[in-house]
Amino acid sequence: MQVYDPLGLYQPADRSRQPLRARWNPTDPDNGRPRSPQREAKKQSALGRFVSDYGWRAYALPVLLAITVLVVVDAVRTGPIPPPSDPGFGALSPKVAQSGIIGAPPGDGKFPADLPLGALPEGGEYVERAAGTWHVVPGTSAQVGAGTERVFRYTVEVEDGIDTTPFGGDIAVAKMVETTLANPKSWTNDPKFGFQRIDAGPADFRLSLTSRESTRAACGFEIPIDSSCYNADLDRVVLSEVRWVRGALAFDGDIGSYRQYLINHEVGHAIGYHGHQPCETDGGLAPIMMQQTFGTRNNDIALLDPHGVVPPDGKTCRFNPWPYPRG
C-alpha cells in the first residue's frame, strides 16, 4: 500500500507494525529478500537458530512428542483391546436329557396379571387347537458340522390341522430349520456337534411346529404366556406356531430372526444346554439360552421367576438369535 505525506509526497510504508509472517518451509532460501544487517551480525546458538527458523513450530514439536510418548506408554501398559466375545450359554450337560420337559416357562405357573412382554404382538392368524398328531415334512440333508462327539439326526414336522400356506408352506418351515442349523453362527460352530435332517427312520429329536393348545399340553401346564420347549419324553422340540407367526414383543428383531432364535434356543435344550441364562453384559448381545421370548431385561424375567437363575440386576441385552453371533 502506498503512503503519502500531507504535502502529497510518496513515503515508503512503515512495516514495523505489520503482522509477522511465517514461511511454510522456513529453511527455503529467502528468494532475494535482504536480511537485516543487525540479524546478520548477531550470532545465535543452534537452539536459537532453530527457534528463529521454525517459529511456533519449535514449541509445538516437544508438546506433540510428549503426547505421543504418553499414548505409547498407556497402550503398552493396558495391552491390546481384545475383540468382543460371544455371549455364553451355560454348562453343557454330560448327558442329553432322556425324560422330562426342558425349557418350560419360568416359575410355577402363577404369573402376575399384567404381562405386557408376554403378550402376543399383532400379526397373522394362528391355530388355537389342531389334531395333536404330526406329519413329517419330506426332505433330507447332508451332515453339517464336524460332529466329533455327537451327530444329531432330526426330522421337521408340522401338526396336522395347521395351514402353513400363509408363511410359505411346510417346505418353507423345513428350509428355515435346516438353514438355521447349518449356519456357522449356530451350534455347528462347536466341532463337537453335527446335524443331519432325515425324513424316515429313528430320529434323535423332532422339530415340530405345534398349535397353541398342543404346545401348552406338551410344555407342562396351562400358562398365560405362549412358549416353546423341548419335551424329552416325546423326543420333540415343540415350536409354538403362535410364536412362529407373531414373534415376541420383547424380541426387538424381525420375524425371521425370531424364528432363528426359536430354533436355536430349543435345539440348545435338546443337545444338552438344559439351563437358562441371564443377560451377562449390559448393552451386549443376549445369550441364546436367555428366554428372549419373555424379555431381554433381567428384571422382566426375574419378575416371572423371582427364585430363578436370573437376578433383578437391571442389565438389559440386545436381541440375538445365534449361539455364536460373530461366527
Domain residue extents for the chain: 19-78, 101-304
Over residues 240-245, mean pLDDT: 97
- What cell was used for 22? 511465517
- CA-nearest of 249, 278, 268, 302 to 106 is 302
What is each CA distance from 284 to 47, 214, 239, 296, in whole angstroms? 55, 35, 26, 10
Q: What is the mean pLDDT of the chain?
A: 83
Residue 53 has pLDDT above 90, yes or no: no
**Tens of pLDDT along 156-176?**
999 999 999 999 999 999 999
Return the H-helix or E-strand segment holding 221. Answer: none
Which fold is adopted by the domain 101-304?
Collagenase (Catalytic Domain) (3.40.390)
- Mapped onto helix, strand or coil, the DSSP state of residue 155 is strand
The DSSP bridge partners found for residue 158 are: 135, 209
Residues sharing a CB contact under 8 Å with residue 179, sequence separation 6 or more, in sequence order: none
Residue 149 has pLDDT above 60, yes or no: yes
CB 315 within 8 A of CB 177: no
**Tens of pLDDT along 6-52?**
555 555 555 555 554 555 555 555 555 555 555 444 566 766 665 56
- CA-nearest of 195, 186, 191 to 153 is 195
Residues sharing a CB contact under 8 Å with residue 27, sequence separation 6 or more, in sequence order: 53
